[in-house]
C-alpha cells in the first residue's frame, strides 16, 4: 500500500483501541444471549426447510412451539424429537408442517444428542467446504479475466426470472458481481419466505429458491464469459442469521451485512441486531463469504462533506464486530460512498481524500465503494459524468468492489441498457487510467492530505465520545446518523433470549471451534 | 395558433434523440428493424447512429429521428406559475389573514421509507438554504417521518386539528403510490375532514395534474421548497375560508 496521505500510524491504532472499548461491553452481552433468528438459522443448518399449508416456514413453526424453551437452544428439541420418533430432519420437517409439536417430546440424554448432532454438523461442514473449494478454484482459474476493481451491478426487477435474464446480460457486458436487490420491507419480516419471487417491489425476497435460481444462472453465464461471477444478497434485517445460513449453503459470495444498519435505518431493536449480526458473521466467516457493510447509508440522509467521519467511525466498529466473529480482513468489504454535493468546489479532491483514507486505514479489506445516488437527478447526462468521476476515484484509490452508478438512478431501477452504459464507462476508465495511481503523489499539506487528516481527527473525537458513553447509550442519544433509538424500542426485542446455563447449539460450538473464538483449543 | 416542434439546430427541424433496446440479436437486420421502428414511432426520418449487443438476444440503439409532429402552444394548459411568497411574507400573510398559527402535518406514507424529501420540506434546517416549515414562527409543524400508515396520519391530523396535511411518495414502482394516495383521500372523505384540510402530495414523480386527479389540492415535484407549499396552503386556506 502506497502511503499517500502521510497519516500517523498511531491514529489508526488509536481508532482501533476506541473501537475495542466500544464493542467490548456489547460482546459480553452477545455471548450471553440468543435470538429466535439465531435458533431458526441453526435449525436450517440442520436441514430444516419447507412450510405448512398456511405458508409459515417450518423453522418458524418450530421456534413458535418452543417459546421460552428457546433459551435452551432449539436444536436440542429438534434432534430430541428426531431421536424419539426415529425420524431424519427431513422427515421431522414434514411432520412439523403437518402439525407435530417438537416441544412436547421428552429430551433424551445429552450424549445421544451430541452423537446425532455430529451427523448434521458434519453434513453442513462438508457442504460449506465444498462451496468454498469450488469458489476458490474457479476464482483462481479465471482470475486474469476479472476487472480490477471488480465491477458490481444490481438487478432489481422484482421478478427473479427477469432478474436472471438481466444478470446474464450484465455478465455478457463485463460485470464481475451481481447483486439481487431485495423487495421493500423484507428486513422487517421475522421469517424467510419460501419459493421463487415473481412480484416484488424494487427487488425479490431473499429465499433459498431465489438463491438457487440465480446461482445457477451466474454459474452458466460465468462459464461462458470465462469468469467466476459473484452473487450478492442481503443478510440483514430481522432474519440476518437465517439468510446467512442460506447463503452459506447455496454458495452466495457476498452478503450485505452491517452491525448497526438495521437499528438505525430500519428501527430493529439494538440487542436483537447485535446478537444476530454476530451469529450471521460466524457463518459467513466459515463459508468464506465477503460481507458488505452499509456505511453509504449515513450519507443518504446526512451531508457527505460534513459527516464523512461517521462513515469512518462506523467502519472501525464494523471491523471490530467482524474480528469478533473470526472474520479476517479479506472478508470485510467495508462500505463507503461518493455522495458529496457536486456543486462543492474541489469536491473531487475531497472524495479522493476520503476514499484514499479508507484505503490506507484498511489495507487488507476488499473495500466496497458506492456511487453517487442522492445527487443524481433527471439530468442523466450529468449523472453519467458524475459516475465517470466516481469510477476515476475508485481506480485511483484502489478500491476493490465498485458498485456501478446508473445514469437513471433518480428515475427507475436499472434498464438493461443503463447497466451496459455503466459497465462500458467503468471499463473505459479502468483501462484508460490503469497506471494513474502509480504516477501521482499528493502534495504535502495540500487539500487532499489536509482533508484526510481532518476527517481522521473528527473520527477519533467521535469514537472517543461514543466509547465514553457506551454504544447502546450513544445510539439512544442519536449520535449515529442523528437517529435516536431506545434500547428497549424497535422491532424484534421479544425474540431475544438469555441463554440458560445448559444452552446447547452444536453449530455455534463448531463454528467457534473452527474459527478459534473464545479459546485456544 | 403557435405551432412548435423540437429544435435541433434550425427552427422547426423537429430533430429528436432516442435510445432504446430491442430484444433481438445485433445484426444488419436488427439495425434495419430499429430504423423502421423509429419511423413507426412517428419520425419521418429515422437514423440509427449506434448499435451494440447487450447480450446474445438484446441490442441497444441510439437513433435520431425527425418529426413532423408539432404542438399548438396556445392550446396547452400547464400548471400556472405561482408567484411564491418568501419566508417573511408567508408569516406576515398568516398573521394578517388567518390571525393564528396554522397547523401542518407531514408524513411519508405506506411502505415508503424515504424521509429525505419530506424532511427537506418540514425540518428546521430545510434544504438548499431554504428553511423548512418547522422554522416558520406562524406554522406549527409536525413531521411523522416515514412508513406512516394512512390511518395513523388521519387520526393524528384529527387529533391536532391539522389545517394542512402533506404526504410524500417517492417509490412509484408498479404504481404503489396511486393506490396508497387514493386510499388516503378516501379515508379523509369518509371521516368528513377532506374539505377542512388542505391536502398536498409531493415527490419526484408527482405533479399537479396527477395530484388533482387523485383528489388532492396540489402536487409538488422535484425542486420544491417549503415556501412553495406554504404559499399554496395559506392562500388555499384563505380562499376556503378556513380560519
Ligand atoms: C436516499 C435513497 C434511499 C434511502 C432513503 C433514506 C431515507 N431515510 O430517506 C434508502 C437507502 C433507505 C432507500 C431505500 C429504497 N429505495 Co431509494 N433512493 C434514494 C435516492 C438515492 C435519493 C432520494 C433522496 O433522498 N432524494 C433527495 C430528496 C431531497 O429529493 P426528493 O425525495 O425528490 O424530495 C424533493 C421533492 O420530490 C419534493 N418532495 C418530496 N416529498 C414531498 C412531499 C411534499 C408534501 C412536498 C410539498 C414536496 C415533496 O421536495 C423535496 C425537496 O425538493 C433515490 C434516487 C434519487 N437520486 O432520487 C432512490 C430511489 C428513490 N429509491 C428507490 C428504491 C426502489 C428504493 C428501495 C425500494 C430499494 C429496495 N429494494 O430496497 C428502497 C425502499 C425502501 C422503502 N420501504 O421505501 C428508487 C425508486 C424507483 C421508483 N420510481 O419507484 C430510486 C429512484 C432509486 C432507483 N433508481 O432505483 N432509498
Q: Residue by residue, what is the 3-state secondary structure of A34-51?
A: EEHHHHHHHHHHHCCCCE
> What pLDDT, on the 0 to 100 scale, is given for residue A336?
97
Q: Which helix (H) or strand (E) holds A361?
A: helix A347-361
Distance between B55 CA and the closest CA of chain A, angstroms: 5
pLDDT band at A321 (very low <50, low <70, confident <90, very high): very high
Residues A155 and A171: their CA atoms lie apart, in Å, by 12
Say if strands B71-72 and B3-4 run parallel, antiparallel, or are unpaired: antiparallel
pLDDT tens digits, residue range A379-400? 999 999 999 999 999 999 999 9
> What pLDDT, on the 0 to 100 scale, is given for residue A1?
61
Range 75-104 of B in CB contact (< 8 A) with A: none
Q: What is the CATH number of the domain that holds B10?
A: 3.30.30.60
pLDDT band at B93 (very low <50, low <70, confident <90, very high): very high
Cβ density class A161-187: b for 16+ within 10 Å, e for less: eebbbbbbbbbbbbbbbbbbbbbbebb
Q: Does B58 touch chain A (CB under 8 A)?
A: yes
Q: Are A517 and A326 in contact (CB under 8 A)?
A: yes
Q: Are A96 and A102 in contact (CB under 8 A)?
A: yes
B118 and B60 inside one domain: no
B168 lines ligand 1 (CB under 6 A): yes
Ligand 1 atom nearest A182 alpha carbon:
71
> What pLDDT, on the 0 to 100 scale, is given for residue A135?
98
Where are any strands of DSSP class E within A25-161?
33-35, 150-155
Is residue A521's pLDDT more than 50?
A: no
Residues A442 and A380: their CA atoms lie apart, in Å, by 32
Please name which of A377, A370, A375 lies closest in space to residue A410, comparing C-alpha atoms. Answer: A377
Please name which of A45, A34, A57, A35 lies closest in space to residue A192, comparing C-alpha atoms. Answer: A57
Are B21 and A416 an interchain contact pair (Cβ–Cβ within 8 Å)? Answer: yes
Distance between B240 CA and the closest CA of chain A, angstroms: 36
Distance between A486 CA and the closest CA of chain B, angstroms: 17
Q: Does B125 touch chain A (CB under 8 A)?
A: no
Residue B80 falls inside a structural domain: no
pLDDT tens digits, residue range A239-293? 999 999 999 999 999 999 999 999 999 899 999 999 999 999 999 999 999 999 9
> What pLDDT, on the 0 to 100 scale, is given for residue B243?
65
Domain residue limits at B35: 3-71
Cα separations (Å) of A514 from A27, A137, A507? 19, 21, 10
B54 lines ligand 1 (CB under 6 A): no
Looking at B71, B96, B113, the residue that finishes a domain is B71
Residues in A closer than 8 angstroms to B54, CB to CB, are 169, 172-173, 416-417, 420
Looking at B23, B42, B71, the residue that finishes a domain is B71
Q: What percent of chain B has pLDDT over 90?
A: 84
B205 lines ligand 1 (CB under 6 A): yes
Question: What's the mean pLDDT when you consider all of chain A?
Answer: 96
By the 10 Å C-beta count (0-12 exposed, 13-18 middle, 19+ buried), A458 is classed as middle
Rg (CA), chain B: 23
> What pLDDT, on the 0 to 100 scale, is given for residue B198?
96
B96 and B189 inside one domain: yes
B52 and B139 inside one domain: no
| Over residues B80-99, mean pLDDT | 91
pLDDT tens digits, residue range A206-238? 999 999 999 999 999 999 999 999 999 999 999
Q: Does B171 touch chain A (CB under 8 A)?
A: yes
Residue B77 falls inside a structural domain: no
Is residue A33's pLDDT more than 90?
A: yes
pLDDT band at A184 (very low <50, low <70, confident <90, very high): confident
Q: What is the DSSP letter of B109?
A: B
Where are any strands of DSSP class E within chain B?
3-4, 15-22, 47-55, 58-66, 71-72, 102-108, 139-143, 164-168, 198-202, 218-220
Residue B81 falls inside a structural domain: no
Residue B78 falls inside a structural domain: no
Residue among A265, A412, A420 whose CB faces B54 most closely? A420
Is residue B78's pLDDT more than 80?
A: no
Domain ranges of chain A: 32-144+491-521
Please name which of A161, A128, A107, A136 lies closest in space to residue A45, comparing C-alpha atoms. Answer: A128
A182 lines ligand 1 (CB under 6 A): yes
> Cα-flanking dihedrals φ and ψ of residue A6, to 5°?
60, 35
Those residues whose C-beta lies under 8 Å from the C-beta of residue A101, and which sit 6 or more positions away, are A65
Residues in B closer than 8 angstroms to A158, CB to CB, are 173-174
Residues A57 and B118: their CA atoms lie apart, in Å, by 37
Query: Would the CA dihedral through A25, A26, A27, A29 be positive or negative?
Result: positive
A179 lines ligand 1 (CB under 6 A): no
> What pLDDT, on the 0 to 100 scale, is given for residue A379?
96
Beta-carbon pairs below 8 A across chains A and B: 49
Query: Would the CA dihedral through A319, A320, A325, A329 be positive or negative?
Result: positive
Residue A238 CA, ligand 1 centroid: distance in Å = 23
Q: What percent of chain A has pLDDT over 70?
A: 99
Residues in B closer than 8 angstroms to A168, CB to CB, are 55
B143 and B51 inside one domain: no
Those residues whose C-beta lies under 8 Å from the C-beta of residue A452, and which sit 6 or more positions away, are A5, A7, A353, A354, A356, A357
Supply the residues of A annotated as catalytic.
261, 296, 368
Supply the residues of B annotated as catalytic.
125
Q: Does B24 touch chain A (CB under 8 A)?
A: no
Tell me what ipTM this predicted complex has: 0.89
Residues A443 and A389: their CA atoms lie apart, in Å, by 21
Is residue B174's pLDDT more than 90?
A: no
> What pLDDT, on the 0 to 100 scale, is given for residue A233?
97
Are B116 and A417 an interchain contact pair (Cβ–Cβ within 8 Å)? Answer: no
> What pLDDT, on the 0 to 100 scale, is given for residue B82?
75
B51 and B95 inside one domain: no
Q: Are A214 and A161 in contact (CB under 8 A)?
A: no
Residues B125 and B127: their CA atoms lie apart, in Å, by 7
Q: Does B50 touch chain A (CB under 8 A)?
A: no
Are B60 and A420 an interchain contact pair (Cβ–Cβ within 8 Å)? Answer: yes
Please name which of B184, B190, B175 lies closest in space to residue B107, comparing C-alpha atoms. Answer: B184
Binning chain B into helix, strand and coil, the percentages to the nearest 5 are 35, 25, 40
B119 and B218 inside one domain: yes
Residues in B closer than 8 angstroms to A378, CB to CB, are 204, 222
B46 and B114 inside one domain: no
Q: What is the CATH number of the domain that holds B94?
A: 3.40.50.280
| Over residues B139-146, mean pLDDT | 95
Residues A23 and A46: their CA atoms lie apart, in Å, by 30
Where are any strands of DSSP class E within B67-205?
71-72, 102-108, 139-143, 164-168, 198-202
Are A173 and B55 an interchain contact pair (Cβ–Cβ within 8 Å)? Answer: yes
Are A417 and B19 an interchain contact pair (Cβ–Cβ within 8 Å)? Answer: yes
By the 10 Å C-beta count (0-12 exposed, 13-18 middle, 19+ buried), A107 is classed as middle
Residues A142 and A74: their CA atoms lie apart, in Å, by 42
Task: Tell me if the bond preceding A149 is cis, omega within 30° of 0.
Answer: yes
B65 and B106 inside one domain: no
Residue with the smallest CA separation from ligand 1 atom 81 is A412
Residue B104 falls inside a structural domain: yes
Looking at B15, B39, B71, the residue that finishes a domain is B71
**Residue B219 in 3-state DSSP?**
strand
pLDDT band at B46 (very low <50, low <70, confident <90, very high): confident
Q: Are A113 and A80 in contact (CB under 8 A)?
A: yes
Residues A6 and A458: their CA atoms lie apart, in Å, by 17
Residues B121 and B226: their CA atoms lie apart, in Å, by 5
Are B222 and A377 an interchain contact pair (Cβ–Cβ within 8 Å)? Answer: yes
What number of other Cβ atoms are within 10 A of residue A148's Cβ? 14
> What pLDDT, on the 0 to 100 scale, is given for residue B175?
87
Residue among A158, A412, A417 whose CB faces B21 most closely? A417
Are A201 and B171 an interchain contact pair (Cβ–Cβ within 8 Å)? Answer: yes
Number of domains in chain B: 2
Is residue A139's pLDDT more than 90?
A: yes
Please name which of B40, B14, B243, B7 lies closest in space to residue B138, comparing C-alpha atoms. Answer: B243
Residue A342 CA, ligand 1 centroid: distance in Å = 18
Residue among A184, A410, A417 whose CB faces B204 most closely? A410
Are A201 and B20 an interchain contact pair (Cβ–Cβ within 8 Å)? Answer: no
B176 lines ligand 1 (CB under 6 A): no
Those residues whose C-beta lies under 8 Å from the C-beta of residue A370, and which sit 6 or more positions away, are A296, A335, A336, A337, A338, A339, A403
pLDDT tens digits, residue range B204-227? 999 999 999 999 999 999 999 999
Amino acid at each position: 500500500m502506497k502511503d499517500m496521505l502521510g497519516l500517523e500510524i498511531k491514529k489508526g491504532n488509536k481508532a482501533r483501541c476506541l473501537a475495542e472499548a466500544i464493542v467490548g461491553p456489547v460482546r459480553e452481552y452477545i455471548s450471553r444471549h440468543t435470538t429466535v433468528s439465531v435458533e431458526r438459522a441453526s435449525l436450517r443448518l440442520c436441514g430444516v426447510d419447507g412450510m405448512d399449508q398456511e405458508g409459515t416456514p417450518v423453522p418458524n413453526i418450530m421456534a413458535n412451539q418452543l417459546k421460552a424453551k428457546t433459551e435452551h437452544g432449539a436444536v436440542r428439541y429438534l434432534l430430541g424429537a428426531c431421536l424419539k420418533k426415529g425420524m431424519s430432519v427431513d422427515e421431522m420437517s414434514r411432520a412439523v408442517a403437518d402439525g407435530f409439536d417438537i416441544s412436547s417430546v421428552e429430551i433424551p440424554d445429552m450424549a445421544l444428542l451430541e452423537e446425532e448432532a455430529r451427523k448434521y454438523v458434519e453434513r453442513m461442514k462438508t457442504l460449506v467446504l465444498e462451496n468454498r473449494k469450488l469458489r476458490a478454484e474457479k476464482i483462481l482459474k479465471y482470475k486474469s479475466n476479472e476487472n480490477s476493481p471488480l465491477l458490481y451491478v444490481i438487478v432489481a426487477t422484482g421478478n427473479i426470472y427477469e432478474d436472471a435474464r438481466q444478470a446474464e446480460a450484465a455478465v455478457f457486458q463485463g460485470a464481475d458481481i451481481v447483486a439481487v436487490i431485495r423487495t421493500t420491507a423484507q428486513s422487517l419480516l421475522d421469517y424467510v419466505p419460501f419459493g421463487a419471487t415473481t412480484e416484488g417491489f424494487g427487488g425479490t425476497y431473499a429465499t433459498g429458491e431465489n438463491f438457487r435460481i440465480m446461482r445457477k444462472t451466474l454459474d452458466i453465464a460465468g462459464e461462458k464469459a470465462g469468469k467466476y461471477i459473484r452473487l450478492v444478497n442481503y443478510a440483514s434485517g430481522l432474519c440476518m442469521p437465517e439468510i446467512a445460513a442460506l447463503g452459506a449453503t447455496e454458495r452466495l459470495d457476498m452478503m450485505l451485512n452491517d452491525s448497526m444498519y438495521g437499528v438505525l435505518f430500519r428501527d430493529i431493536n439494538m440487542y436483537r441486531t447485535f446478537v444476530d449480526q454476530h451469529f450471521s458473521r460466524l457463518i459467513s466467516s466459515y463459508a468464506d463469504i465477503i460481507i458488505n457493510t452499509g456505511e453509504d447509508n449515513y450519507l443518504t440522509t446526512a451531508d457527505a462533506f460534513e459527516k464523512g467521519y461517521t462513515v469512518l467511525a462506523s467502519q472501525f466498529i464494523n471491523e471490530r464486530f467482524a474480528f469478533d466473529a473470526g472474520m479476517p480482513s479479506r472478508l470485510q468489504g467495508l462500505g463507503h460512498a461518493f455522495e458529496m454535493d457536486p456543486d462543492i468546489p474541489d469536491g473531487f479532491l475531497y472524495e479522493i481524500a476520503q476514499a484514499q483514507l479508507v484505503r490506507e486505514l484498511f489495507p487488507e479489506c476488499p473495500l466496497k465503494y458506492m456511487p453517487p445516488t442522492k445527487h443524481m437527478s433527471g439530468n442523466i447526462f450529468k449523472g453519467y459524468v458524475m459516475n465517470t468521476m466516481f469510477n476515476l476515484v475508485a481506480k485511483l484509490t484502489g478500491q476493490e468492489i465498485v458498485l456501478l452508478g446508473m445514469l437513471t438512478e433518480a428515475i427507475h431501477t436499472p434498464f438493461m441498457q443503463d447497466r451496459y452504459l455503466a459497465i462500458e464507462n467503468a471499463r473505459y476508465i479502468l483501462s484508460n487510467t490503469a497506471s494513474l495511481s502509480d504516477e501521482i503523489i499528493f502534495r504535502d499539506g495540500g487539500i487532499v492530505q489536509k482533508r484526510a487528516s481532518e476527517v481522521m481527527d473528527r473520527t477519533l473525537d467521535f469514537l472517543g465520545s461514543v466509547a465514553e458513553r457506551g454504544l447502546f447509550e450513544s445510539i439512544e442519544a442519536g449520535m449515529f446518523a442523528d437517529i435516536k433509538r431506545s434500547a428497549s424500542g424497535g422491532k424484534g426485542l421479544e425474540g431475544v433470549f438469555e441463554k440458560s446455563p445448559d444452552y446447547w447449539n452444536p453449530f455455534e460450538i463448531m463454528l467457534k471451534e473452527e474459527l478459534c473464538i473464545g479459546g485456544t483449543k | 395558433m403557435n405551432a412548435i416542434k423540437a429544435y435541433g439546430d434550425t427552427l422547426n427541424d423537429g430533430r429528436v434523440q432516442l435510445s432504446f433496446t430491442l430484444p433481438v440479436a445485433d445484426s444488419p437486420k436488427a439495425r434495419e428493424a430499429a430504423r423502421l421502428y423509429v419511423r413507426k414511432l412517428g419520425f419521418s426520418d429515422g437514423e440509427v447512429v449506434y448499435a451494440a449487443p447487450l447480450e446474445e438476444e438484446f441490442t441497444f440503439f441510439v437513433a435520431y429521428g425527425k418529426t413532423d409532429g408539432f404542438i399548438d402552444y396556445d392550446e396547452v394548459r400547464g400548471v400556472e406559475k405561482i408567484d411564491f411568497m418568501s419566508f417573511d411574507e408567508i408569516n406576515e400573510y398568516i398573521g394578517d389573514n388567518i390571525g393564528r398559527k396554522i397547523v401542518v402535518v407531514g408524513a411519508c406514507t405506506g411502505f415508503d421509507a424515504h424521509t429525505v424529501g419530506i424532511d427537506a420540506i418540514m425540518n428546521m434546517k430545510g434544504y438548499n438554504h431554504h428553511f423548512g416549515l418547522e422554522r416558520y414562527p406562524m406554522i406549527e409543524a409536525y413531521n411523522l417521518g416515514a412508513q406512516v400508515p394512512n390511518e395513523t396520519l388521519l387520526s393524528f391530523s384529527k387529533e391536532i386539528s391539522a389545517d394542512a396535511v402533506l404526504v410524500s411518495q417517492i417509490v412509484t414502482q408498479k404504481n404503489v403510490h396511486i393506490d396508497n394516495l387514493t386510499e388516503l383521500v378516501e379515508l379523509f372523505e369518509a371521516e368528513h375532514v377532506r374539505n377542512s384540510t388542505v391536502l398536498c402530495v409531493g415527490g419526484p414523480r408527482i405533479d399537479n395534474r396527477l395530484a388533482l386527479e387523485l383528489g388532492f389540492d396540489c402536487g409538488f415535484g422535484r425542486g420544491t421548497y417549503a415556501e412553495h407549499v406554504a404559499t399554496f396552503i395559506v392562500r388555499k386556506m384563505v380562499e376556503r375560508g378556513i380560519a
